[in-house]
Amino acid sequence: MSTAEERWFHRRGALARDGWQSVVDASLTGWQHTGIRIAELTDGDELELTALDVERIIVPLAGSFRIAHHHHPGEWHTRLHGRASVFDGPTDVLYLSIGTTATISGEGRVAVTEAPTAERRDWQYIAAEETPVELRGAGRSSRQVHNFGTPQALDAARLIVCEVITPAENWSSYPPHKHDEHKPGHESRLEEIYYFESAPSRSGGNPDAADGAFGMFSTYSSPAGEIDINAMVGTGDIALVPYGYHGPAVAAPGYDLYYLNVMAGPDPERTWLISDDPAHAWVRDTWDGQEFDSRLPYENENENENDKEGQP
């Protein structure tokens, strides 16, 4: 792995700290606008979130959780029903504003996405059925996007979060694009985190091959800075994109690919505007007339009725 890749790409567990499997925050050199925490919990485990000037979205990746959260004017208990895996459709999520303490308990794998801010918003529970699901692209560029934390779906201060499912053999984060310049109405400055998972495909994959499940991910430089990631990615790996063109993210034959995107930046408006690499932007036009991948959408095959406690 190159020195540049070592700085911006981290294997599962390489950023372990304080009971978390991975922690990305401003303690990493050159990183300031976004954060993520990943943990695996078993019955009886608890993880604490302290009262910081960060807003958060708690995202069940696999399993279900209970969140005790404390903020003005009191204490609430919210159940996140979650899902069996990230390939089982949308999950319910919990948005918490700045100055909140919380305790996470339950069983499974959970992500806490973060962005520093001085602005306060109301906390919010978003049920799985309330999550906007977007089917993006066409043909071998078909993918499924869950937009629970985008400006159109959530009133947050800085944080923008979504998740993407790419079926085996498909490409996503493509054409390569960037968001590292402030061009009002055209492009916004956003740091971005990619947290990856991969698994044997729901469409005929070999369940005995789970340990070897992988995809590919690339970044490359733009005028804003030099970056170079060309990596096999699997469950728990994290790529950081401070600037530069990023994509494609490719699901290998036999394996589905998932990534959770966390974005925030210094621009005055919370908006997600991108610029395609001019060398590859023409690819979007080839999607016209192509059929969408019939394997999508991936949905929760064991959906249960969501009950909520302490909802606003």
When pLDDT is cut at 50, 70 and 90, the band that residue 73 belongs to is confident
Its pTM stands at 0.95
pLDDT tens-digit series, residues 116-166: 999 999 999 999 999 999 999 999 999 999 999 999 999 999 999 999 999
Structural domain boundaries in the chain:
3-281
pLDDT for res 312: 40
Q: Comparing C-alpha atoms, which of 217, 218, 254, 248 is closest to residue 234? A: 217
pLDDT for res 306: 40
Cα separation, 96 vs 114, whole angstroms: 10
Q: Give CA angle at 147 (18, 59), nearest 5°.
A: 25
CATH superfamily assigned to domain 3-281: Jelly Rolls (2.60.120.10)
Residues 224, 178: contact at Cβ < 8 Å? yes
Cα separation, 218 vs 245, whole angstroms: 9
Whether 201 has a pLDDT exceeding 90, the answer reads yes
Whether 310 has a pLDDT exceeding 50, the answer reads no
The residue-averaged pLDDT of 190-206 equals: 96
